[in-house]
Amino acid sequence: MGNIAPNHLQRDFHATVPHQKWLTDITEFKVKGDKLYFSPILDCYNNELIAYQCSRHPDGRLVKQMVLQAIARLAEGDSPILHSDQGIQYQMASYQQLLAEHNIVQSMSRKGNCLDNAAMESFFGRMKVECFYGKTFDSIEELESVIKNMFVITMICTPKVGLKPTD
């Protein structure tokens, strides 16, 4: 077991500037017996998807790759709080060191308290309604393609020009 970070957010998901408060978690999809894990970082300022990764395994590599993608978006002087649950992936020393090296303040929900990351859980709920529930996929690869296409559009259009992915 690794270190549990304090809950710096205390359910305050309001941010006054970009890259002030970020949320992350991992959600699971199942298609024909196969699993896909989706791990995003969401900016509380404008609900912008900062980074995401998909993987067949919910391991440390998944979250580290996601964080590296997010770090590339930071400007000098940015020091976001990155809030997650207490999943083992977020307790790994190498993950915590990566955050510290890039001035990212780690924050964790209290054990077993999904309300501490309610905005992220809400994002997952909306996402699954839009791209998963009620749809049939032939393979996990097809679902991954749908997710990637959905979020490439979201990351390009939504935060910059205010368009919805369906516009």
Residues 6+ apart with CB under 8 A from 49: 40, 41, 42, 43, 151, 154, 155, 158
pLDDT at 129 over 90: no
pLDDT at 36 over 90: yes
pLDDT at 97: 96
pLDDT at 164: 41
CB atoms within 10 A of CB 46: 11
Structural domains of the chain sorted by starting position, each given as residue range(s) with its CATH number in brackets: 21-137 (3.30.420.10)
pLDDT at 126 over 90: no
pLDDT by residue (tens digit) across 136-167? 999 999 999 998 888 766 554 444 434 344 44
* Closest of 79, 93, 158 to residue 126, by C-alpha: 158
Are 106 and 21 a contacting pair, CB within 8 Å?
no
Cα separation values, 22 from 83, 124, 135, Å: 6, 15, 30
The C-alpha atoms of residue 22 and residue 13 are separated, in whole angstroms, by 9
Token digits of residue 154: 């979201």
| Residue bearing tokens 């690869």 | 141
Residues 6+ apart with CB under 8 A from 122: none
